[in-house]
Chain A
Amino acid sequence: MTTDNDYRNPPRLAEILLNAVFPDGPHRSPLGDFGEVYNDIRRRRGRLAAGAWYWGQAGRSTAAALFRRAYWGMRLGRDSLRLAVRTFRRRKVYTLINILGLAIGMAAALLIMLWVTDEQSFDRFHAHADRIYRVYLVFAQENRVTAQTQTSAALAETLMAECPEVERATRIRGGGGDSLLIKVGPRQFNETRAAVTDNEFFKIFSFPFIAGDPDTALAAPGSVVLSQTAVRKYFGDADPLGNVMTLYGDDFQVTGVYQDMPPQSHFHLDVLCSFSSFEQYREPVWDWNDFKTYVQLRPGSPKAALQSKLDDIVRTRLLAGHSESEIRQWRERGGQWYMSLQALTDIHLTSRLVWEFEANGNGSVVRFFAIIALFILVIAVINYVNLATAQSTGRAREVGIRKTLGSTRPPLMGRFIMESVLTSLLALGLALALAQVLLPFYRDLVDKPWLRVPYLEQPLLPVGLVALALFIGVLAGIYPAFVLSSFRPISVLRGNLSRGLKNARLRHGLVICQFALSIFLLVGTLVVQKQMDFVQTRDLGFRREQVLVARTMGQLGSKMEAFRTALLADPAIAAVGASTTVPGKGLNNLGSAIEGTTVNSGVNIMAADTGFLSALQLKMAAGRYFSKDMNTDDRALLINESAVREFGISEPLGRQVRVSGVEERLFHIIGVVKDFHYDSLHLPVKPVLIARIPGLYGTEEDYVSIRIRPPHIGPTVERIKTTWQEMVPGTPFHFEFLDSITNDLYRTEERTGRVFTIFSLFALFVACLGLLGLASFTTEQRTREMGIRKVLGATAPALFLKQAGEFSRWVLLANLIAWPAAWLVMNLWLENFAYRTEIGPSPFALAAGLALVVTGLTVGYHALRGACADPVEALRHE
Chain B
Amino acid sequence: MTILTRAEELILVAVWRLKEEAYCVPIRSHLVDVTGKKWSFGSIYDGLDRLEKKGYLDSSYSEPCAERGGRSKRIYRLTRPGHEAMLRMMEMNEKLWAGIAREAVEKKI
Which A residues fall within an 8 A CB radius of B? 4-5, 7, 9, 22, 24, 27-37, 39, 57, 60-61, 64
Contact = CB atoms under 8 A, between A and B. Distances in A.
Contacts of A31: 69, 71
B69 A33 contact: no
A230 to B, nearest CB: 75
Q: Tell me if A's interface is mostly helix, strand, loop or mixed.
A: helix
A32 B71 contact: yes
A34 B69 CA distance: 10
Interface string B60-76: 01000111111111100
Contacts of B70: 7
A807 B68 CA distance: 73
B19 to A, nearest CB: 18
Given A22-B41, A30-B41, 11 more contacts: A5-B67, A7-B66, A27-B61, A27-B71, A28-B71, A32-B68, A33-B23, A35-B69, A39-B67, A60-B40, A61-B42
B90 interface: no
A31 B67 CA distance: 12
Contacts of A22: 41, 45
Contact of B67 (A28, A34, A36, A61): A36
Nearest to A38: B69
B67 A33 contact: no
Contacts of A4: 67
B4 interface: no
Contacts of B65: 32
B7 interface: no
Interface string B66-93: 1111111110000000000000000000
> Which 9 pairs from chain A and chain B are nearest by CB?
A32-B71, A32-B68, A29-B74, A27-B72, A33-B24, A27-B61, A35-B69, A7-B69, A28-B71
B25 A29 contact: no
Given A27-B72, A28-B71, A29-B74, A34 B41 contact: yes
B20 to A, nearest CB: 16
Interface of B: 23-25, 40-42, 45, 61, 65-74
A37 B41 CA distance: 11
Contacts of B42: 61, 64
A24 B73 CA distance: 11
Contact of B25 (A7, A24, A36): A36
B69 A29 contact: no
A444 B60 CA distance: 74
Contacts of B74: 24, 27, 29
A741 B68 CA distance: 88
Contacts of A34: 41
22 contacts: A5-B67, A7-B66, A7-B70, A9-B69, A22-B41, A27-B72, A28-B72, A29-B24, A29-B61, A29-B74, A31-B69, A31-B71, A32-B65, A32-B68, A32-B71, A33-B25, A34-B41, A35-B69, A35-B71, A39-B67, A61-B41, A61-B42
Contacts of B66: 5, 7
A7 B45 contact: no
A4 B65 CA distance: 11
A199 B61 CA distance: 79
Nearest to A5: B66
A33 B24 CA distance: 7
A207 B61 CA distance: 70
A24 B40 CA distance: 17
Contact of B72 (A5, A32, A37): A32
Given A36-B25, A37-B25, A29 B41 contact: no
A180 to B, nearest CB: 83
A33 B65 CA distance: 11
B26 to A, nearest CB: 10
A64 to B, nearest CB: 7
A61 B44 CA distance: 13
B68 A35 contact: yes
Nearest to B24: A33
Contacts of B23: 29, 33
A849 to B, nearest CB: 69
A60 B74 CA distance: 23
Given A22-B45, A29-B73, A30-B41, A7 B68 contact: yes
B67 to A, nearest CB: 6
A36 B41 contact: no
A819 to B, nearest CB: 64
A32 B73 contact: yes
A869 B25 CA distance: 77
Contacts of B45: 22, 30
A61 B40 CA distance: 10
Given A24-B74, A61-B42, A30 B24 contact: yes
A395 to B, nearest CB: 35
Contacts of A37: 25
A4 B66 CA distance: 9
A660 B74 CA distance: 101
Contacts of B73: 29, 32
B41 A32 contact: no
B93 to A, nearest CB: 29
